[in-house]
Amino acid sequence: MANWTGISAKQQDEIDNLLASIPAREIPTYDELSYDDFLNHHLIPNKPFIFSSIATSKWSASARFRAPIAFKAVSQPNLSALRPYAHHLVPVANTLQQQFSEFERTERPLGEVLDLWEKGEGKGLYVKDWHLMAEIESERRGVKEVYEVPDCLRDDWLNPSYTPDSRHPTRETVGTSASTSDFRFTYLGPPLTYTPLHRDVYGSYSWSANVVGRKVWWLFPPDRLDGVKDQHGELVFDVGDLEDEGRAIKILQQEGEIIFVPSGWHHQVVNLDFCISINHNFFSSPTLPRIYDTLSASQERVEESISDVKAMIIQRLGSEGDAWEKEWVEEVQSLLERDAGWNWKGFWQTVAKNVIGPPAPLHLSPPVQLRDEWIRHAIERFKLRREWVLQDDIRMTIEEIQRSIGYER
Ligand SMILES: O=C(O)CCC(=O)C(=O)O
Residue ranges per structural domain of the chain: 9-283, 286-404
206 lines ligand 1 (CB under 6 A): yes
pLDDT at 228 over 70: yes
Ligand 1: residue whose CA is nearest its atom 9? 208
186 lines ligand 1 (CB under 6 A): no
Torsion-angle region of residue 203: left (phi > 0), alpha (psi -120 to 50) or beta? Answer: left
Hey, what CATH topology would domain 9-283 get? Jelly Rolls (2.60.120)
Q: How confident is the model at residue 243 (pLDDT cuts 50, 70, 90)?
A: confident
Crossing angle (nearest 10°) for helices 307-317 and 323-340: 150
pTM for the full model?
A: 0.94
Element (H, E) at 98: strand 89-99
pLDDT mean over 328-333: 95
pLDDT mean over 115-138: 95
**Ligand 1 centroid to residue 261 C-alpha, Å:** 9
**Ligand 1 centroid to residue 343 C-alpha, Å:** 24
200 lines ligand 1 (CB under 6 A): yes
CA distances to 135, 178, 189 from 89, in Å: 10, 10, 16
pLDDT at 3 over 60: no
Provide φ and ψ at 217, rounded to 5°.
-115, 135
Nearby residues of 64 by Cβ (< 8 Å), 6 or more positions away: 78, 81
195 lines ligand 1 (CB under 6 A): yes
**Spatial distance between the Cα atoms of 330 and 315, rounded to a whole number of angstroms:** 17
**Spatial distance between the Cα atoms of 74 and 66, rounded to a whole number of angstroms:** 9
pLDDT digits 0-9 by tens, 10-57: 999 999 999 999 999 999 999 999 999 999 999 999 999 999 999 999
Handedness of CA 46, 52, 58, 60 (dihedral sign): positive
Assess contact for 288 and 354: CB atoms under 8 A: no
Q: How confident is the model at residue 101 (pLDDT cuts 50, 70, 90)?
A: confident
Nearest atom in ligand 1 to 194's CA: 3
pLDDT digits 0-9 by tens, 75-85: 999 999 999 99
The secondary structure of 103-142, three-state, reads EEEEEEEHHHHHHHHHCCCCCCEEEEEECHHHHHHHCCCC
188 lines ligand 1 (CB under 6 A): no
CA distances to 42, 184, 239, 283, 320 from 27, in Å: 11, 24, 20, 21, 57
Nearest atom in ligand 1 to 193's CA: 3
**Ligand 1 centroid to residue 208 C-alpha, Å:** 7
350 lines ligand 1 (CB under 6 A): no
39 lines ligand 1 (CB under 6 A): no
Q: Which residues pair with 216 in a beta bridge?
A: 252, 270
pLDDT mean over 369-393: 96
pLDDT mean over 217-221: 97
Q: How confident is the model at residue 174 (pLDDT cuts 50, 70, 90)?
A: low
